[in-house]
Chains A and B, each alone.
Chain A
Amino acid sequence: MTEWDGHGLPPVAAERMRRFASSGLRTSLLTVPGAAGVKSVGFDPVGEVMGCIVQHMGWSGFGGCGYFGGVGALGGFSGYGLGGGTVTSSGRAGFVGFGPYVDALYHGYGTALARMTEEATAMGADGVVGVRLSVSDLGNDNREFVALGSAVRSQSRHRPARVFTTDLAGQDVAKLLQAGWVPCAIAYGISVAVRHDDWRTQRQSSWGAGNTEVSGYTELVAHVRADARYRFDQQARSTGAQGAIVSSMGLQIRGIEPSENHRDHVAESTVFGTALASFHRGSTAPTRSLTILPLR
Chain B
Amino acid sequence: MTADPTALGIPEDAMRRLAEMRPGQSTSLFTSDLSVNEFLLVREAGFRPLGLVLGTSIYHVGFQMGRWNSNQELTVLSQAMYHARELAMTRMEAEADQLGADGIVGVRLEIEFKEFGSDIAEFIAVGTAVAADDQQTPDGQGWRNNQGQPFTSDLSGQDFWTLIQAGYAPLGMVMGSCVYHIAHQRFWQALGNVGQNVELPQFTEALYDARELAMSRMQAEAEQLAAEGIVGVQLLSLGHRWGGHTTEFFAIGTAVRPLRADHVIAKPQLVLPLTDS
Residues of A within 8 A of B164 (CB): none
Residue of B nearest to A278 (CB): B17
Residues of B within 8 A of A155 (CB): 6, 11
Contact present for B43 and A161 (CB under 8 Å): no
Residue interface bits B70-100, CB-to-A below 8 A is 1, else 0: 0000001001100110010001000000000
Contact present for B120 and A205 (CB under 8 Å): yes
Query: Closest Cβ of chain B: how far from A233's Cβ, in Å?
Result: 6
- Interface size of B in residues (CB-CB distance below 8 Å): 81
The residues in A between 184 and 220 inclusive whose CB is less than 8 angstroms from any CB of B are 184, 204-205, 207-214, 217-218, 220
Residues of A within 8 A of B52 (CB): 229, 246
Query: Closest Cβ of chain A: how far from B247's Cβ, in Å?
Result: 18
Residues of B within 8 A of A162 (CB): 18
Contact present for A213 and B11 (CB under 8 Å): no
Contact present for A237 and B29 (CB under 8 Å): yes
**Docked pose: A210 CA to B27 CA in angstroms:** 47
Give the most central of B9, B25, B29: most A CB within 10 Å. Answer: B29
Give the most central of B15, B16, B62, B270: most A CB within 10 Å. Answer: B15
A-side interface mostly: mixed
Residues of A within 8 A of B49 (CB): 243
A285 at interface, CB cutoff 8 A: yes
Residue interface bits B100-130, CB-to-A below 8 A is 1, else 0: 0000000000001011110110100010000
Residues of B within 8 A of A (CB): 1-3, 5-6, 8-19, 21-37, 39-41, 43-44, 46, 49, 52, 54, 56-63, 76, 79-80, 83-84, 87, 91, 112, 114-117, 119-120, 122, 126, 133, 161-162, 265-273, 275, 277
Residues of A within 8 A of B (CB): 33, 40-43, 126, 154-162, 164, 168, 172, 175-179, 182, 184, 204-205, 207-214, 217-218, 220-222, 225, 229, 232-233, 236-246, 249, 251, 253-255, 265, 273, 277-280, 283-285, 287-296
